[in-house]
Amino acid sequence: MRPKGTQAARLRQRKFEVLRRLKIPPEGLPGSLALTHRRCGKPTCHCAMGEGHPLWSLTFMVKGKKRVERIPEEWLAQVRRRVAEGRAFKDGLTEVFALNALLLVIERKQRGP
Ligand SMILES: [Zn+2]
């Protein structure tokens, strides 16, 4: 269950590099942040003349359902960092499994028909 060859060695090395850095971020978040603008409706507000007040929201999926949550401006930096952590972890996980699949393909070829 351990394919031989330089390609396999390269894939395995990459896998362990990714695994070494891969740690579940305890505060990681799914989804993505988006910025929209909304007018508050007060005719005297400065926003009545412009594009509106900035409104940040986090869009994410929970159990197959899309949810959108408004994010207060003062949370923005923190939430952005947590979303980045979540994405980096998911990307790493996806890469490890992809590398495992490529190693399986090599192993399968070495085994013969
Ligand atoms: Zn306004």
- pLDDT tens readout for residues 32-41: 999 999 999 9
pLDDT at 67: 98
Rounded to an integer, the average pLDDT of 83-111 is 97
Per-residue pLDDT band for 23 (boundaries 50, 70, 90) equals very high
Name the residue range of residue 74's domain.
Answer: 6-111
Do residues 21 and 91 lie in contact, with contact meaning Cβ atoms separated by under 8 Å?
Answer: no
Say if 15 falls within a structural domain.
yes
**pTM (2 decimals)?**
0.82
Mean pLDDT score of the chain? 95
Say if 92 falls within a structural domain.
yes
pLDDT at 21: 94
CA of 62 to the centre of ligand 1 (A): 32
Say if 68 falls within a structural domain.
yes
CA of 55 to the centre of ligand 1 (A): 11
* Number of domains, the chain: 1
CA of 45 to the centre of ligand 1 (A): 5
* 69 phi/psi in degrees, rounded to 5: -125, 130
Structure tokens given for 26:
């305890």
CA of 36 to the centre of ligand 1 (A): 14
Do residues 31 and 83 lie in contact, with contact meaning Cβ atoms separated by under 8 Å?
Answer: yes
Say if 61 falls within a structural domain.
yes
Q: Sheet containing 53-62: which strands, arranged edge to edge?
A: 32-38, 53-62, 65-71
Say if 90 falls within a structural domain.
yes
The upper half-sphere exposure of residue 7, i.e. CA atoms within 13 Å in the direction of its Cβ, equals: 11
CA of 37 to the centre of ligand 1 (A): 10
Say if 75 falls within a structural domain.
yes
CA of 44 to the centre of ligand 1 (A): 8
Say if 1 falls within a structural domain.
no
Say if 102 falls within a structural domain.
yes
